[in-house]
Structure 1
Amino acid sequence: MSMELRTLMAQVSQYAGIAHKEDIARLAPQLPPLPQGWHPNGDDAAAIPGPEGYSLLAMEGFLNAFVEQDPWFAGWCGVMVNISDIAAMGGRPLAVVNALWNHDIDHAQQIFAGMSAAAETFGVPIIGGHTNLRANQAQLAVSILGQAKQLLSAFAAQPGQVLVAAIDHRGAFRAPYLNWNAATQAPAQRLRGDIALLPEIAERGLASAAKDISQAGLIGTALMLLESSGVGARIELDAIEKPQGVSWADWLCAFPSFGYLLTTDQASLPALLGLFHSRDISASAIGTITDDKQLWVRHDAQKVQVRDLGSQPLMGFRPESDTASAP
């Protein structure tokens, strides 16, 4: 490895996706308390308890430059990333709505074409939204409704568990961003079957915690999961499977179309990895969960602390045990 680990981790930590997550901490303390018994804020989707599990609600907004430069793919991602959020919670997607602001009808139609293509591919209908074609710039946000019988949650990681990364490598970066696209050319039935793995994992109890790898990349997503659970982790860099020809800096900051971090125990690890491998999805144990709220990455003799979440929070969402003991 030509790059020093400390240099690599500094580069990854400065990636804009992680900085965006830090912005959340400025607003999180102002959120009102949730109803008694509800799932805490800070997960990939809101989980509203009901008589047969949980209703799931999530939303994604998109960078204006991305929407302007690549409208069809922005529309596709509007549906796809919301579906990933529902899957990360162990849920099945039901329907999406959107809010689209634009000033160019042709550009807006490209966005809608991408959304429609993704909705048809994944079998998730678009059932409404809000449209304004008299705005001064293109803006897109998409929200989704889902249902889960059994939750996966970023708040459920436990010390001693194994950290697993599962990412579909059958794609390529879509310039100019680090979006790893393994979806737009894939068969619809394969994509639907891949997404269905996550609720199966939840219902079989093969993992407890999960989070989809977001714009913050693998390391940033790991930090969000660890912060929510009030734990730390030790990650082995060489255990992370990486496509040939892709640099570590790009891969650790990539936003994959199918990518998840999960935690599980040693007894369930073979079955969990086997499910992903049966669908030709790369999956491996990349580290262990610890009780110290620190994320460390190791490569050969090098070892670097990425962040101490105990002294330097990321999003500001804390597990209920920490909240209960706070003054």
Structure 2
Amino acid sequence: MRYAFPFSAIVGQHRMKQAMILTAVDPGIGGVLVFGDRGTGKSTAVRALAALLPPIQAVEGSATNAESPEDVAEWDRMAGTEMVDKPTPVIDLPLGATEDRVVGALDIERAITHGEKAFEPGLLARANRGYLYIDEVNLLEDHIVDLLLDVAQSGENVIEREGLSVRHDARFVFVGSGNPEEGELRPQLLDRFGLSVEVRSPSDIEERIEVIRRRAAFESNPEAFVSKWAGDDAAIRDDILRARKALGDVETGTPALRDCAELCLALGSDGLRGELTLLRTARALAALEDDGEVTRKHLRDVAPMALSHRLRRDPLDEAGSTARVERLLHDVLA
């Protein structure tokens, strides 16, 4: 049996873990982009969070993790009628993946000879209701980026070949990671990520020692290590489930809306996606912290991760995007 490293056992990286928890509370936030050094636990955190989350209820054998028998597509012939528990899916999208592997492939010959739709589902079908993880997302080929942008916008994957058409739900949380030294991300894709965080290798010697100690303990006896941290993971899971239920009751007053608008105007962020994401993330944090209303405290806490990747470049300002957001937070939300 393969064990995932416990989410609660990850040392440091508070911002990365907080961003992933918030997208688990409200997947509509739009995913997480994690940029930084190699070996800082980016992929470990994604798989650890998915292992921590409760299983999803899906139709047995469904290639798209259909929520009910009524949602099963006509081409999904392996699907049954019983509902079963499935682990939250985490699907890796490799850099060299072909278009057919990502979106799925239609069997034209079978359609012509037998008059039936034969569809081989792709990675997007398997990721439905889960996570789609792209390592080195900044190196992804442009035509795959365009496909992902279309699906992320609509929540539906549509495949059309030779007059045939197949569609299925493709709602997932985007998680991308990469090293900024290896290339920049296309602005269109960058804007689709709800949150962005920067991670760095720990500079504190004691923290580095603790990382080594925990990793060695996990590799030596995974079962015992996972069991040791099971209680902490269960507490995080309970917090996420409680926050999901409370999310609809979190109030957003006019002062919070005004703060969002003033902050985004001061930052010069393009469009209104910044305000909407900032507000949605702040509501998720309020629900997580068992607060009934969005306050400036919530906005201050999430603004760097919700807005830092939406700023226009300023060649006269050498400060990083996160530093610029934090500086304006002090000015606007003093």
**Which bin holds the TM-score, normalised by the shorter protein?**
under 0.3
Q: Which has the higher helix share?
A: 2
Q: Which has the higher strand share?
A: 1
What TM-score comes out, normalization by structure 2 length? 0.25
* Larger radius of gyration between Structure 1 and Structure 2: 2
What TM-score comes out, normalization by structure 1 length? 0.26
